[in-house]
Chains A and B, each alone.
Chain A
Amino acid sequence: MKFSQRDYEGYVTLDLKGKLTGGPEAETFRDLFKSLVQQDKKHVIINLRDIEWISSTGIGILIRGYKTVREAGGEFVIVRVGERTQQVFNVLRLDHIFKIAANEDEAVEFFKKS
């Protein structure tokens, strides 16, 4: 999995690409979220548009990021979930944990209301 960081309407947006499977990227992601929280960037958008599929270890990466942000008082919104990833989210009922939005605009609306 590769990722890049950009700003959308003043909020950190992470564009993930490839296969979300864990491994070395788990540590990179953990460090990134710690760094974001330290910079007081507590609201984060995770764009999964270019994620081909996700494994249970990949879900662990997302949950760790979610917990880091939430413990700092922030919000964590996942956008543009592909069909295959959505199937896994449905089975594990992850929509009960993550805020899932159609796109970045919907995520921003959520941040403004929270």
Chain B
Amino acid sequence: MAGQHNVMELIIPSDFKYLGAVDAAVQDLAREFSCAQKWIDDFSTALVEACTNAIEHGNKYGRKKRVRITVELNQRRIISRVHDQGKGFDFKKYLSHAPPPDPLSERGRGIMIMQAFTDQLNYSFNPKTGLCVELTKACGGTAEDDS
């Protein structure tokens, strides 16, 4: 896949039923680059989690609010940015000092999943445009490694 570069943009309503479309789009894009299936699955798991948070915590399921997702894939890495239209949150606290959730808590595992399945997780907030989560993962393995 040397020299190839691809960018994709998706805009979805604030509804979990569209998460499958996000996963499918990333899977298709990464397969075009012959990425290893496990690598695709790991990244997509993190991306779906970012979209879940954007829908639930950012847009609070708002019917008129959208989640915008960009995915940029080249021979070195994949970067995805997930933008919601919410009011943001104290992400510095969650990224550096958040204790692990109570084992029996029904919530609070999203950031753990994103951190585990990516190399870098960054947040930024703009009052005019909302929260942006950036997920980065270095390319690892090709489809030939699956066989």
Contacts and interface: CB of A to CB of B under 8 A. Distances in A.
Interface stretch (B65-73, B81-89, B107-115, B119-127): B107-115
A53 B113 contact: no
A97 B103 CA distance: 7
Contacts of B106: 59-61, 63-64
Contacts of A52: 23
A23 interface: yes
A88 B42 CA distance: 9
A92 to B, nearest CB: 6
Contact of B109 (A19, A23, A87, A92): A92
A97 B107 contact: no
A97 B45 CA distance: 21
Given A21-B16, A23-B16, A87 B42 contact: yes
A92 B110 CA distance: 10
B45 A87 contact: yes
Interface of A: 18-19, 21-23, 52-53, 55-57, 59-61, 63-64, 66-67, 83-84, 87-88, 91-92, 96-97
A56 B19 contact: no
A83 B41 CA distance: 10
Contacts of A63: 104-106
Interface string B32-73: 000000100110110011001000100000000000000000
A89 B112 CA distance: 12
A101 B112 CA distance: 25
A60 B112 contact: no
B134 interface: no
Contact of A91 (B56, B105, B117): B117
22 contacts: A18-B20, A19-B20, A21-B16, A21-B48, A23-B17, A53-B44, A53-B48, A55-B16, A55-B19, A56-B49, A56-B108, A57-B16, A57-B107, A59-B106, A60-B107, A63-B104, A66-B104, A87-B38, A87-B45, A88-B45, A92-B109, A92-B113
Nearest to A96: B103
A72 to B, nearest CB: 15
Closest 7 CB pairs of A and B: A60-B106, A23-B16, A91-B116, A56-B109, A56-B110, A21-B16, A84-B41
